Amino acid sequence: MGGIALEPIKRSSQEQLVRLLPYIFGLLLFTMFPLLVPTYLQTMITKVFVFAIFAMSLNLIWGYTGLTSLGHAAYFGIGGYVYAILVTRYGIESFWVSGPLSILATGLVAAAFGIVALRVTGVYFLLVTLALGRLVYYVAVKWRSMTQGSDGIIGIALPNLGLPGFTWNATYFCFFVLFVLIICYILLYLIVKSPFGYALQGVRDQEPRMRCLGYNTWLYKYIAFIIAGIFAGIAGMLFSQYLGVFHPDHTGVAMSTVVLLMVIIGGTRMFFGPIIGAIVIVLLEYFASLYMPARWPMLLGAVFVIAVMFLRGGIGIHLVRLWEKVINGYGSVKGCVPL
Amino acid sequence: MQDVSFSVEIGEKLAIIGPNGAGKTTLFNLLNGQFKASDGRIYLFNQDITNISTQRRAHLGQARSFQMNTLFPTLTVLDNMQPAVHVLKPSRFHMFRSITSYDDHITKAQKLLETMALWEKREDLAQDISYGEQRKLEIAFSLASEPKLMLLDEPSEGLAPIIVKEVGKVINRLKKRRIPILLVEQNPPFALKAADYVYITSKGLIVYESTPDELKDDVEAKGKYLGVTGR
Amino acid sequence: MSLMAIHLLNGISFGMILFLLSMGFSLTLGLMGILNLTHGAMFMVGGFIGYTVVGAGGNFLVAVLSGSIAAGLIGLVIERLFLRRIYNRLDDQVLLTLGLVYIFENVILWIYGGHGRMTNPPPFMAFTVDIGGRSFPGYRLGVIAVGLIAFIGLWWLIDRTRIGAIVRAGMDDNEMTRGLGINHELIYGAVFALGAFAGGFSGAIGTPMMSFIFSMPMEVLLYALIVVVVGGPGSVLGTLIGALVIGMIDALGKAFIPDLASFTIYIVLIIMLLFRPTGLMGRTMA
C-alpha cells in the first residue's frame, strides 16, 4: 500500500471517468433490466429499490455514525402508515401533499425518539431502539380506529402525481421508485462526503477525540438519527404504495432485522453496500417463498450466522477489490478507503 | 487528584512529571472536561469552565493531544486533518458540499502538515506512517483548532530518542507562537528540557515545584522524586 | 382492598419470574459484556421443554430441571461455538444472536405449532389461598418463595464468595485474573451457561402462569432489558428491585388499563431514560 504519495489531489479527467464507470454500469443495469423482464420480476426489482433506500438510511447511522439500531423499521412504518392514513382515511389525493407530510411526520417521530435513545450508548442504545420499535408496532396494532389494527390498511393507491393523462403501470412505478432511489443515493452520498459526514465518521471512530476538537458529538448523532429516520420514512411510504396495503408487521422487529441483514451482507463500510444487500436478501426471500415459505425465518437466521462468522466486511468490499484489480491490473491496489 | 493548584501564563511551558498512576492523565481529563471535578474550580482565561462541556472548552481555545493515538487509522493523513480544520467554522455542519471543495481549509491543513513535515505523506493512510509521524500528526490535529492553550499528554511516550528531539522542536515552535503549553510527562529529562517550570506529582498530589534549572541543582529532590542520583 | 392485594401479589410473582430471567441476562451483559439476544429464546426453551416433560407425564420438578439444564447446555454450545470468537465485537454479537433467535423461533413453531401452551401447576401446589374472600393460586406464592431464595443465594454467591470475587475480577480485568492463574475461558463458558440456565429456569417455572407461544422471544428479551435499565446492570439487588417494579406495573396495568397495558413498560422505559438514565440503583451504563 502507499507509494503514491505525490499524486495530485485533483484527479485527472480520465481518472474521474474511471471512477464514474461503475455508476454508469449500475445505472444502465437498473434502467435496462426492468424493461427486459416480465412483470413479476419488475415488481421484485421495485421491491429491491425500496429496500435499497431503507438499507442506505440505516447505513448512515450504523456504518457511518456507529449507532446500531434494532428498531429502524419504526420510521419505515411511520412513513408508510402516515401516507396510507392520509390517502385512504383523509382522502388527500395529491402525492405532493401526502408525500411531504408523511416524510415530515417521520422526521418528527425520529426527533422525539432520538432524544430518548441517545440518552444511552452502546448496548443500551441498541436495546432502547428495539423497545421504541416495539412501541410503534403496538401503536399500529392497538390504535384500531386509525390503523385498522392487525388487519392492516388496504387499498392504498399508487401516488397521484397530478400529471394529466398519466396512468400507472408496473414499469412506470418501477422507474418512479428508481428515480427516488437515485435522488436518495445522491443526497446521502453528498452527506457522507461533506464536512458533516466526515464528522459523523470521526464520531464513530474517535468520539472523545472529536469532543476535544470541539465537536458537539451528541448533536451530530442526533441529526444523523433524524436524517436516517427520514430516509427510512421515504422507503416506508414507497413500500405502502408498492404493496397497496400496510400492516403492523411492516414496522416490527422482523423488518428492522431484515434491513440490518441487508446492510451487513452488503458491507457497512461501503456506500453502495446496502444496495447489494437489498438485492441479495430480496432474491433470497423470493426463492424461499417459492420453495420453503414456512422455513424462511430459519434461513434468515442462518444467513445472519453465516454473515457474522464468515462474511466479515460484506460482499461490497470484495466487489470493490475486484473492480480495483480490473482497473489497475495487478499491483497497486490502493487500500480500500472506507468511504 | 486533590489539593492541586497551578496556573499557566501566556507563552509559558509548564510540565507535570510523575510516574504511572500519579494522576497525570486524570488531571488532564479534569481540565479537559472528560471527568467532572467533584470539588474545586477550573478557569480558562479567567472564565470559570468547571462545569462546561468538553466541546465548549475546545471552542474557548483549549486543545489536547492524547497519550494514545486517536487518529483515524483508515483515513489518509490529509483526511485526518479535515475534521480539525472545519471545527471552528460553520462549515462543520454543511451537508451537501464535498469536503474536498473547501480550498481555504485544505490550504490551512497544508500549512500545518508542512510545519510537521507531513505534507508529502498526505495521501498515505494514517496507519501506514511511522509512530513518530503519527505523534506529529496528532499535534498538528490539535493545532488546527487554533488553540489558546495546549494540553500535551506524554508527547514523548514510546518514541525513539531522535524522534523525541523532533517533538521537542515542535514544542519549541509552539512556544514561539506564544501558545501556552501544559505538558505531562513520565520522561523527566525531556520535560526538563522542554518546559519553563516543573511540577512533580505523586499519588494525586503535587509534591515539588521549581524551574528546571533549580531542580537540576537540587540533588535531594532528584533522588527522591525522579530516582536520579548525582548530577 | 383484597382485590388490590391480589393484583399486587400477581405483580410480585410475575416480578420474581422477571428477576430470575433478568438475572441471567444481566449476568452475561453486566459481568461479561456480552449482549445475548437469545436470552428470551432460552426462556422459551425452558418453558417448552418443561411443557413437553409435563405433557409426557413427567414430574413437574423434573420438567423444570430438564428445561433449565437444556437451556444451560444450549447456552454453553452457543458460547463455545460462536460467541467465543467474537468477544468485544458488540455488533457481531448482536447480529449473531439475533439470527439464532430467528432459528429458535422457527424451530419452536415447527415443533409446537402456532398455539399458546400452558401447563397445570404441580399437584402439590395446586391449591388456592384465601385472601380477603378471594382465592389466590398457591403456585404463585411458591414462585415468590423460589424467587426470594434465588435472590438470597445469588446475592451471597456474587457479592460474598470467592467465586463471585473471581467472576467480578475476571470481568473487570482479564489480564489480572489470567496472571493469577485463573482459567478465563472456563469462567466465561460457565457464566454464560449459568445465565442461559437462569433464563431456562425462569421459563420453566413460568409455564403454569402464562401461555407460551413461539413468537415471544423478543418480547421476553425486552422485559429483561427494561428490568436491567430500571435496576442497573450487574447488581443482584438492583435487578430484584427493577424486576419487582416492572412486574407490579405490568400487573396493575393489565388490571386497570387493559387497553394500554402493552404500552406501560415502554413508557416506564422512556421515563427512566429521560429522567434517570443510570437506573434506580444509580450505576452507570456503559
| DSSP result, A26-43 | HHHHHHHHHHHS-HHHHH
- C266 contacts chain A (CB < 8 A): yes
Nearest by CB to residue B55, choosing from A206, A215, A337, is A215
Neighbours of chain B (3+ CB pairs under 8 A): A
For the stretch B147-188, pLDDT in tens is 777 787 777 776 777 777 777 777 777 777 777 788 777 777
- A300 contacts chain C (CB < 8 A): yes
- A9 contacts chain C (CB < 8 A): no
> Which chain C residue shows the shortest CA-CA distance from A262?
C95
The mean-pLDDT minimum among A44-53, A180-189, A190-199, B186-195 falls in B186-195
For the stretch A262-294, pLDDT in tens is 888 888 777 888 888 898 899 888 888 888 888
Which residues 6+ apart lie within 8 Å of A33 measured at CB? Answer: A45
Which residue's C-alpha cell is 425500496?
A: A50
What mean pLDDT value characterizes chain A? 83
| pLDDT grade for A102, boundaries at 50, 70 and 90 | very high
Which residue's C-alpha cell is 460457565?
A: C190
User: B57, B65, B96: best mutation site toward chain A, by most A Cβ within 10 Å?
Assistant: B96
Distance of CA C167 to the CA centre of its chain: 20
For the stretch A38-59, pLDDT in tens is 878 888 889 999 999 999 999 9
- Report yes or no for ipTM above 0.90: no
Q: Chain A partners of B75 at a C-beta cutoff of 8 Å?
A: 201, 337-338
Q: Chain A partners of C266 at a C-beta cutoff of 8 Å?
A: 131-132, 134-135, 138
Which residues 6+ apart lie within 8 Å of B28 measured at CB? Answer: B34, B64, B151, B153, B184
User: A212, A226, A227: best mutation site toward chain B, by most B Cβ within 10 Å?
Assistant: A212
Set of cell numbers at residue C209: 402462569
**What does pTM read for this prediction?**
0.85
Residue A102 lies in a domain: yes
d(CA B13, CA B170): 13
Q: What angle do CA C275, C278, C283 make, to 5 degrees?
A: 155
- A112 contacts chain C (CB < 8 A): no
pLDDT of residue B223: 66
Structural domain span for residue B19: 13-226
**Domain holding B191: CATH number?**
3.40.50.300
Average pLDDT of B65-78? 77
Q: Is B216 within 8 Å of B192 (Cβ atoms)?
A: yes
Q: Is the pLDDT of residue C102 over 60?
A: yes
Residues within 8 A of A (CB atoms), C 81-120 only: 82, 85-86, 90-92, 94-96, 98-107, 109-110
SS3 C194: helix
> Which chain B residue shows the shortest CA-CA distance from A224?
B95
Nearest by CB to residue A208, choosing from B34, B93, B97, is B34
d(CA C139, CA C118): 14
Other beta carbons within 10 angstroms of residue B148's beta carbon come to 15
Other beta carbons within 10 angstroms of residue A218's beta carbon come to 16
pLDDT of residue A338: 40
For the stretch B86-98, pLDDT in tens is 877 777 777 777 7
For the stretch A216-235, pLDDT in tens is 889 999 999 999 999 999 99
Nearest by CB to residue B96, choosing from A190, A215, A338, is A190
Chains B and C touch (3+ CB pairs under 8 A): no
pLDDT of residue B230: 42
Judge: B83–A196 Cβ closer than 8 Å, yes or no: no
- C129 contacts chain A (CB < 8 A): no
Q: Chain A partners of C216 at a C-beta cutoff of 8 Å?
A: none
The mean-pLDDT minimum among B5-9, B189-193, C19-23, C215-219 falls in B5-9
Residue B54 lies in a domain: yes
Structural domain span for residue A145: 37-161+170-259
Nearest by CB to residue A195, choosing from B59, B70, B92, is B92
Q: Chain A partners of B121 at a C-beta cutoff of 8 Å?
A: 5
pLDDT of residue A320: 74
Average pLDDT of C223-245? 85
Judge: B99–A194 Cβ closer than 8 Å, yes or no: yes
Set of cell numbers at residue A7: 499524486
Residue A27 lies in a domain: no
d(CA A117, CA A162): 39
- C157 contacts chain A (CB < 8 A): no
pLDDT of residue B222: 65
Residue B222 lies in a domain: yes
The total number of structural domains that make up chain B: 1
Residue B138 lies in a domain: yes
pLDDT of residue A329: 58
CA of A201 vs chain B CAs: smallest distance (Å):
9
Give percent of chain A with pLDDT exceeding 90: 22
Nearest by CB to residue A202, choosing from B72, B120, B123, is B72
CA of A249 vs chain C CAs: smallest distance (Å):
12
Residue B137's nearest CA partner among B67, B60, B77, B211 is: B77
CA of B7 vs chain A CAs: smallest distance (Å):
20
Residue B207 lies in a domain: yes
> Which chain C residue shows the shortest CA-CA distance from A304?
C99
Nearest by CB to residue A257, choosing from C98, C109, C285, is C98
Judge: A120–C273 Cβ closer than 8 Å, yes or no: yes
More confident residue, C12 or C165: C12
Q: Chain C partners of A135 at a C-beta cutoff of 8 Å?
A: 263, 266
pLDDT of residue A108: 95
CA of A63 vs chain C CAs: smallest distance (Å):
11
For the stretch B211-222, pLDDT in tens is 777 777 776 666
Nearest by CB to residue A131, choosing from C101, C102, C269, is C269
Q: Is C194 within 8 Å of C167 (Cβ atoms)?
A: no
pLDDT of residue C200: 94
| pLDDT grade for A107, boundaries at 50, 70 and 90 | very high
Set of cell numbers at residue B214: 533549580
At position B100, the amino acid (one-letter code) is T
d(CA B32, CA A297): 49
Q: Is the pLDDT of residue A162 over 90?
A: no
The total number of structural domains that make up chain A: 1
Residue A310 lies in a domain: no
- A100 contacts chain C (CB < 8 A): no
CA distances from A173 to A166, A169, A176 (A): 12, 6, 5
> Which chain A residue shows the shortest CA-CA distance from B31?
A212
Judge: A302–C82 Cβ closer than 8 Å, yes or no: no
Residue A175 lies in a domain: yes
- DSSP-assigned beta bridge partners for residue B153: B184
> Which chain A residue shows the shortest CA-CA distance from C34?
A123
Distance of CA C146 to the CA centre of its chain: 14
Q: Are strands C134-137 and C128-131 parallel, antiparallel or unpaired?
A: antiparallel
Judge: A198–B55 Cβ closer than 8 Å, yes or no: no
CA of B222 vs chain A CAs: smallest distance (Å):
34
DSSP for A36-95 reads HS-HHHHHHHHHHHHHHHHHHHHHHHHTTT----S-THHHHHHHHHHHHHHHHTS---BH
More confident residue, A109 or C168: A109
Report the interhelical angle of A39-62 vs A253-266 (nearest 10°): 80
> Which chain A residue shows the shortest CA-CA distance from C219?
A134
